[in-house]
Structure 1
Amino acid sequence: MDRFTLKSVDDVELEAAAHSSNAGSPRGSVLLVHGITVDLDEGGGMFVRLADQLVAAGFDVLRFSFRGHGNSAGTPRGVTVSGECLDLQAAVEEIRARFPGPLSIVAASFGAVATALSLPWLADRLHRLVLWNPVLDLNHTFLAPELDWGRENFGPEQQKVLEASGYLVVDGTFELGRVLFCEFASYRPLDRFAGSEVRSLIVHGDQDSAVSYEIAADAARSRPGTELHTVVGSDHGFDSREREDEAIRTTVAWLVAESDCIA
């Protein structure tokens, strides 16, 4: 594994890690895009384990931390959707420069927002897309939350705190600022995802208390070229080692099968 930094176009330094398959003919490359309060390892190190299994299957892998996350520059309060889109662009350019072959993306939770919004320019660059518990509706998740996690962190009382102080503390640890919440009313990642033609897999727990399983399942059913794998009984982020392993195993198997289709 090679640890290094890359720069977004606005000169923000991002921590990153590259995993080379060392295969004579790699299947392709996979970019891992993390969620809202974590970093390039994803919660509990899921992305590290996913990267290991992808490498074993013949893929090159790149992980990175968005600005304001992990050891990347910036602050949590300064996180914005537009900033994450710039960071994703930098990561895509880096992985394409380092590793040849078809590019796939695995995006978890809030990482699906920047990824979906970037699909128009990713169109001819992206081979396959996997979404884990994806945030596809920002209003439902944050502005008018209907699920337990959203009501706890972004409900009416918390939005009063946001108005007064300019930020909220999510899950008791991660500060998110006012500008991010202003953006939520403007972006519609579901529309961008629905309008894309890239073949996709959605892996989602059907007991998710943070991000709507029903929205993701409806998107999978209505969008051509999209498969849905339901992790039965799982809350957000896959809430046991067994369920995490199921998500990882399903993802790797699907990407391998899809790469075999073009081999």
Structure 2
Amino acid sequence: MMFRLLGSLEVYGPDGAPLRITQHKQRALLSLLLLTPGNWVSTDLIHSTLWVGNSPRNAFGSMKTYVSQLRRKLADANDPENRIESRAGGYRVFADRRELDVCLFEEAARRGRDALHDGDPGRAVEHLNAALELWRGDPFEELPVDVRQAETSKLEEQRWAVREDLLDAHVALGQHHVVIPTLRALTIEYPTREHLWCRLLVALCHSGRRAEALAAYQTAYRFLVNELGIEPGAELRQLHQQMLAGDEVTEPFRRDLRQIR
């Protein structure tokens, strides 16, 4: 089977056919169990996730009904395993890492990072693009923000690291023109991340667009000074001095790629 959680919940049977789970509380329950597959989830947590505020008198009975319905739906997908196991006070769902798009994303990200470290940026681009293509929206969309926040924050950080690795891979291939549109968009979305401005300046200069690089520096400078009240950091200032002096512009730092666990 395949459980897609990097966006709204989607479930596919062993034959690749989509498995329709339309009832909201069933979708939320399955998403909650898949948040920590293989681990027990207490009925109290399930209750507070499915019913925020007032809950019906028969809430725990309804919970059992939702579990039974999910079991039947998963069995209808020609999967003989009992995917959802129960015990007093909790439930858990079993899923192989190969069945979860979250795990496939992490694996593709790892392969891309390893390829980049091994000096194979072309292969890195393939794996990193494959990792990003798995994202369709916010992870675990069916769950309340407070329930999914820890996991989604971790995934967003991993996604950010993949974006950075992909930029580095394109630069290593000499494809500065490829990263410029992405960097422009990212500096607008995340203007406080100075390393993005540094990459943009380097890419513009290596594309023969030094005047645009100088203009981009001024944009970064005005934002940092006017909005945050701080001067640009040493790396950004060094790049600016290289541009003004007409020197060859090189990225004045080397990012330590983070381990994605």
Give the TM-score range, shorter chain: under 0.3
Q: TM-score, normalised by structure 1?
A: 0.25
With the length of structure 2 as denominator, give the TM-score of the two structures: 0.25
> When you count helix as a share of all residues, which structure comes out higher?
2
